[in-house]
Structure 1
Amino acid sequence: MSQDSAAATEAVRKLSGRRRREVVAVLLFSGGPIFESSIPLSVFGIDRQDAGVPRYRLLVCGGEEGPLRTTGGLELTAPYGLEAISRAGTVVVPAWRSITSPPPAEALEALRRAHEEGARIVGLCTGAFVLAAAGLLDGRPATTHWMYAPTLAKRYPSVHVDPRELFVDDGDVLTSAGTAAGIDLCLHIVRTDHGTEAAGALARRLVVPPRRSGGQERYLDRSLPEEIGSDPLAEVVAWALEHLHEQFDVETLAARAYMSRRTFDRRFRSLTGSAPLQWLITQRVLQAQRLLETSEYSVDEVAGRCGFRSPVALRGHFRRQLGSSPAAYRAAYRARRPQGGGAEPVAPVIEPIVPAQGSPSIRRAAATATPPGPHVITSPTAGPVQSEQGKPGPDAYTTGRPTLPGQRSAP
């Protein structure tokens, strides 16, 4: 190592040592959604020491020249600029205004420098696009809102995108799914920094569950993402969704696309961030879920109508994805329906287009009784709720699905 390189390394080490994790910089941009932007401000910017929550120091930084205009037309003036990021040990990008436009180069450089100097970098929802544009997600597992996961995977192929997860903790770089999942990740950060009791006290103040179980699968929309809808492969995907009652495999889909299995797998994953076999299994399970809720078919009949080769195959995949047997799921669902009066409207089943294959490199935070690894990523066992666009929203603490035997619901 040259003397110049050694000196530079030592300078970075000293600067990194001056950064403290409890100093949190939140990077705001014009056009950002106000809800997502307010999450880290509420978690890290309010003194709740009286409730046993250690205090953070908050630096709200403008990522570009202000005033910053948020959704709804509100104008904000950030008290700090990009230079304040150099004092933070945690940098949060709560959202980015558009997944189709590049973030400001100055902001990307500030994020790269902060990461090089030891800061923890956090991207909430579409904030993952900013982290990816800065190169901070290259070769790493990450997540974002399920609706934008295919675009993230396609635009940044070196990022291991998993749209099933509520958040992903990869040590010094963390990402979350949309809206309420940002609260989950912020609570996880508090739990990591100060322990379970502090995170629980904060959750009580925010009136949210301290931990949630599950993933984004239950909120994934059946419709094709815009970028996939114009691709020839979309026709094959649409055919598969219309013929789930038939027995076919990925080789059948590859043949319909006039591709070899290997080429089809690569093409499908590049477009959706998902392995085609996992996508097909998940579609069949969700179809079975709908039939168990809305029909009187036996479990054996449901298996046949969803393309499973046997009821045993249905039961195995159903349990792995939903944590219960089909019969127990149906019983729990019906137990929640009102007694007497009119029939309860059946909650719509949101069928995903991009439930990706889980990356083995994802490190999950231990949050359940049977954790898959050192880091469990949590979400509620909940049905779809209405977003501001009137479509089923991806993040809600309101439970719409039944609580299954052996499965915890959000309090």
Structure 2
Amino acid sequence: MPIPIVAVVAFDHFSPFHCSVPCLIFGDILPGQPLFELRLCAGDGKASSHSSQGFSIQAPHGLEALAEADIIIIPFWRDPAERPAQPLLDALAAAHARGAEVVGLCLGTYVLAYAGLLNGRKASTHWEYEQDFLRRFPCVRLDTNALYVDDEGLVTSAGTAAGLDCCLYLVRQHHGSAIANQVARRLVIPPHREGGQAQFIQQPVSASTRDTRMNQLLDHLRAHLPEPHTLDSLATHSLMSRRTFTRRFHQATGLSVGEWLLIERLRRCQELLEASTHPIERIAELVGFKTATSLRQHFRARFAVLPSEWRRSFRGNKE
């Protein structure tokens, strides 16, 4: 049985990391055990592509190679506002119509979207570009947390290192888990990562506001996270009525008191998981959760991983 042909499409201003990931995984990753036939293709019609970092790539194949490929990978895209050349978009559409898998890694998802392949389908891209992507392609059902998405042969991934996860997934689909695990071991990476993009997104909570009195209160709350807080107690502390306090707090932070406290407690929990050896039960006490179970539930709901998984990923210790 012939091995799958993988076409990786290179462009000017390519990202060296994003382009090297599929070339590494679908190249001769297991010496003496060919898994794929790799073909590097010029997406701009030029044999040589250059990166902003001074790297250059010689692509021996043109877009005609996409007509034979079983898997076509767009490893990146240089500018979300730039519509790719129509010959490339037409070649991708034709390839998918004949049954080839079409893959967009990170901002490569934009290229698939410009080709119209993702209309009405699920997709993923780098979390920093989600709002821009949604504005440009409202017909795409963007999964804002997934590391990668496969919707009937249209495979897209989140940013940067998620391309590794996505490519390993393709190895697993074509050659099984045992081979994918061998590839992962050779790369010294986990064969499958838990969770999604949410664990890497900085939480959009400002350290301060334009309201001096609210800033003083927020500092007080951060210093007393383990204590119980109610609207009445905080209004009294701020020398305001409950109604005035509720309005001022929301105007200053854009959140309710309960929402703000939850985010701050989870943020502090992240810090303790990364920097301390406290068990989860003790961390729950230190950040103001009534039980470790409650902490686990809220942590998983927000970051799509358990606290113990977070600790393993960011510190290497177990719960």
Q: Which runs of 4+ in 1 moved over 3 A?
A: 242-248, 279-286, 290-301, 310-315, 319-325, 380-383, 401-405
The C-alpha deviation readout for 1:296-319, integer Å capped at 9, x for no partner, is: 997356237xxxxx6675453125
- 1:189 matched residue in structure 2: 170
Deviation at residue 140 of structure 1 after TM alignment: 1.6
Q: 2:39 aligns with which of 45, 50, 59?
A: 59
Query: What residue in structure 1 maps to residue 195 of structure 2?
Result: 214
> Are the aligned partners of 1:54 and 1:198 in contact in 2 as well (CA < 8 Å)?
no
Deviation at 1:174, TM superposition (A): 0.7
Distance 1:200 1:64 in 2: 35
Q: Distance in 2 between matches of 1:194 and 1:102?
A: 34
Distance 1:247 1:105 in 2: 59
Aligned partner of 2:266 among 276, 286, 292: 286
Equivalence for 1:303: 288
> 2:190, 2:150 → 1: CA distance?
19
Residue 241 (structure 2) aligns with: none
- For 1:3-402, what aligned pairs fall within 5 Å after superposition? 22-46=4-28, 48=30, 50=32, 53-66=33-46, 67-222=48-203, 283-284=263-264, 286-290=266-270, 292=272, 299=284, 302-303=287-288, 313-320=294-301, 321=303, 323-324=305-306, 381=310, 399-402=313-316
TM-score, normalization: structure 2?
Answer: 0.72
Runs of at least 5 residues in structure 2 that lack an aligned partner in the other structure? 222-228, 232-245, 253-258
Q: CA RMSD in A?
A: 3.7
Shift of 1:197: 1.3
CA distance in structure 2 between the partners assigned to 1:204 and 1:315 by the alignment: 30
Task: Kindly indicate whether the alpha-carbon contact (under 8 Å) linking 1:95 and 1:123 is maintained by their aligned counterparts in 2.
Answer: yes
Measure how far apart 1:158 and its partner are.
1.6
CA distance in 1, matches of 2:265, 2:105: 29
Q: CA deviation at 1:47?
A: 6.2
Cα 1:317–1:78 shift into 2, 3 Å: same
Evaluate the alpha carbon distance shift between residue 280 and residue 171 of structure 1 in structure 2; reply closer, same or farther with a 3 A threshold. farther
What is the one-letter code of the residue matched to 1:28?
A
- Aligned equivalents of 2:316, 2:57: Cα separation in 1: 42
1:310-359 deviation digits (Å, cap 9, x = unpaired): 6675453125446546xxx6xxxxxxxxxxxxxxxxxxxxxxxxxxxxxx
Native 8 Å contact 1:27 1:94 kept in 2:
yes
Matched pairs, number: 274
State the SS of the aligned residue for 1:147.
helix
Deviations 1:340-384 (A, max 9, x none): xxxxxxxxxxxxxxxxxxxxxxxxxxxxxxxxxxxxxxxx8479x
Contact preservation (8 Å) 1:324, 1:404 = no
**Length-normalised TM-score, structure 1:** 0.57
Look up the equivalent residue of 1:79 and give its one-letter code. P
Deviations 1:160-197 (A, max 9, x none): 22232211122301111222211111111111111111
The structure with the larger Rg is: 2
